Amino acid sequence: MRRRDFHCWACAVLGGSSPLLVSAQSTAGNIVRFVVPFAAGGGADSVARVVAQAFPKEAGNLVIDNKPGAGGSVAASYVTTSPPDGKTILLGSTATLVINPLLNSAVKYDPLKDLVPVAGLVSLPYLVVTRASSPHTSLTALLNAAAAEENAVSFGSPGIGTTNHLVGMMLQSRAKAKMVHVPYKGAAAAMNDVIGGRIDFMSGDLGTLLPAVKDGRLRALGVTSATRMSVLPEVPAIAETLPGFEASAWIGIFVPKSTPKSAVDGLSVAFKSAVENPGVRQRFVAMGGASISANTDLSALIRSDAEKWGRVISENQIKKDDVN
C-alpha cells in the first residue's frame, strides 16, 4: 500500500484529523522492533515478513527481530519486559501464548496480564496427511483402524507439545483410540517418514505438506479448519467426519502491558491497513491461511484455546515439561 493510498484510506475511515491517525503518523521515521518468536524461514516468520512489507511507513519502520527459543518464551519474555512505548511488538501465536504456558513450567509471563492485544493477522489451519499408497484412504478409515486395535496407527510431529502433536492427540481422543506418537526434530523429518511408510500420518502446515500432496507423494485426508479451504476444495474438513472439530492456529500482534492507548490504537490502525491489503490476503491464501479481522478479540481466543488445548492435554495425560 502506497503512502498516498494509506492517507486516503485513513482519512475516509477515520474522518481526517482522527487521534488514531495522528498517533500512527507520529511514529513516522521511528524504528518499531517486530519480535518474532521463531527462526527466519518458518511459517510465522513468513507471515511477519508479508505483513511488514505492507505496513504503512507513516506508522513507523518495522524491523524484524527473530528471537527463537523455548517454544516462543524467549521472545515473549523479551517483549513483556520491554519499555511499554509502542516501539517493541510481539508476533503472538497459539503456540507461544496458549500451548507454551500450558506445558512449560518455566514460562513466567501471563499472556492475558502482561500483554495487550493490538490486531489479529491470520488463521492457519493444518492438513492431515498419509502416504499416497496408504490403505487408509479416508479419515474415517484411519480412525476406524486406530479404534479397532490399540497402537495399530502411528503419527509423527515436530515434538511433544507442538500444535501438530496436539492435533494428533485430539484425533485420538475423538476416535476413542490409542495411537503411537513419534516425535521428530522437525516437520520435514516426520513428513519423510510418512512418505516412506514408517509412520501412518501427521498433521502440518500447508507450506510444508502441500507440495508433496500436489506431486502425489502424500494423500490429504482432511483439513482442521471448520470448513473446507478454497486452496484445497476437494479435501474435506475434519469437522465433516467429527462435528465440531477445529484446530486452526492464529497469529496476532501484541505489546507490553501499560503501553499507552494512543500507541496501541495507532498500531492497530496500521496493522489493519496491512491485513486488508489485497496482496497480503493473496499471500495468506497461498500459505493456506485466511486473514482474520484486525478487531478480533485475541484475549477471548487465548481463553477459548487454553480451554480447548488444556482439555486435550488433560485427556491424554501430557505432562508439563515433557516437551522436546
3-state secondary structure at position 231: coil
Residue-level pLDDT at 207 = 82
For residues 58 and 81, what is the distance between their CA atoms, to the nearest angstrom?
26
pLDDT per residue of the chain (324 residues) written in tens, 0 to 9: 333 333 333 333 333 333 333 344 444 458 999 999 988 877 888 899 999 999 998 888 999 999 998 888 999 999 999 999 999 999 999 999 999 999 988 899 999 999 999 999 999 999 999 999 999 999 999 999 999 999 999 999 988 888 999 999 999 999 899 999 999 988 889 999 999 999 999 999 888 899 999 999 999 999 999 999 888 999 999 999 999 999 999 999 999 999 999 999 999 999 999 999 999 998 888 888 888 887 889 999 999 999 999 999 999 989 877 665
Residue-level pLDDT at 15 = 33
- The residue among 210, 215, 211, 201 whose CA lies nearest residue 167 is 201
For 256, residues 6+ apart whose C-beta sits below 8 A from its C-beta are 79, 80, 81, 82, 83, 84, 88, 114, 115, 116
Residue-level pLDDT at 149 = 93
For 188, residues 6+ apart whose C-beta sits below 8 A from its C-beta are 208
Amino acid type, 70: A
284 φ/ψ angles, rounded to the nearest 5 degrees: -65, -40
Q: Is 224 exposed, middle or buried (0-12, 13-18, 19+ CB in 10 A)?
A: buried
Residue-level pLDDT at 221 = 97
- The residue among 274, 262, 230 whose CA lies nearest residue 23 is 262
For 195, residues 6+ apart whose C-beta sits below 8 A from its C-beta are 131, 132, 212, 217, 218
Cβ(224)–Cβ(165) below 8 Å: no
State the sign of the Cα–Cα–Cα–Cα dihedral 72, 73, 78, 84: positive
For residues 137 and 92, what is the distance between their CA atoms, to the nearest angstrom?
36
3-state secondary structure at position 257: coil
Residue-level pLDDT at 135 = 95
Residue-level pLDDT at 271 = 95
Residue-level pLDDT at 190 = 95
Q: Is 83 exposed, middle or buried (0-12, 13-18, 19+ CB in 10 A)?
A: exposed
- The residue among 82, 85, 40, 86 whose CA lies nearest residue 64 is 40
